[in-house]
A and B are shown apart, each in its own frame.
Chain A
């Protein structure tokens, strides 16, 4: 069975700080990996995804994530956060079951 672990439950940063959110998964085969974002009061929307190819994936709004197969990780990064990045971030993994498994989410608060 596949599983996802997001280590940081709550992150508080000041504007312009760098961001890295951890995501580790458990699955022995080929995986598709996703990061979704949920802005306050809104629905989840895709931030970026990795299916194959370059392990460094660039998404919307300056976010990127790096797939490190040996570490079973898919950490999300942004060099300089903005107040508008305040949101909940979900990592998801999809392996053999074809049904994505979501992590518990990380709440990011960015102070202006």
Chain B
């Protein structure tokens, strides 16, 4: 199995630009999580999908952030417009269901100038 796949691995953009991060979960996993990791705040859960439906988006910082999961094999996290404080590593993780081990992707390192 290829594991959780994320793209791009690195993204450098200018303030105000739209950023789209992509995630392909492990086949057969029905839960998907988006996290943000920074030195200041550690690992923060942004949103959680179960069977493609957003269950908990209370961690999404503000309206500039949106996430979709149009099917079981693909999810996007979009930031529009991006700001320098959005600079972080964004991880996607998937699992076989609630309460089970999460498998993390390699992350996308986002830098907003």
Chain A residues within CB distance 8 Å of chain B = 32, 34, 36, 42-46, 49, 90, 94, 97-105
Contact = CB atoms under 8 A, between A and B. Distances in A.
B104 A43 contact: yes
Interface of B: 33, 42-43, 45, 48, 55-56, 91, 93, 98-99, 101-107
Interface of chain B, main secondary structure: strand
Contacts of A105: 42-43
B47 to A, nearest CB: 10
A100 B59 CA distance: 13
B104 A44 contact: yes
Interface of chain A, main secondary structure: strand
A90 B91 CA distance: 14
Contacts of B106: 42-43
Contact of B42 (A34, A98, A102): A102
Q: What are the 6 tightest A-B residue pairs by CB atom distance, in nearest-first order? A: A98-B98, A104-B42, A43-B104, A44-B104, A102-B43, A43-B106
A94 B42 contact: no
Given A99-B45, A99-B56, A44 B101 contact: no
A53 to B, nearest CB: 15
A43 B105 contact: yes
Contacts of A98: 98-99
A103 B37 CA distance: 12
B91 A44 contact: yes
Contact of A43 (B45, B56, B107): B107
Nearest to A90: B43
A85 to B, nearest CB: 19
Contact of B101 (A46, A97, A102): A46
A103 B43 CA distance: 8
Contacts of A42: 106
Nearest to B95: A100
B102 A100 contact: yes
A32 B99 contact: yes
Contacts of A90: 43
Given A43-B105, A44-B104, A104-B42, A94 B99 contact: yes
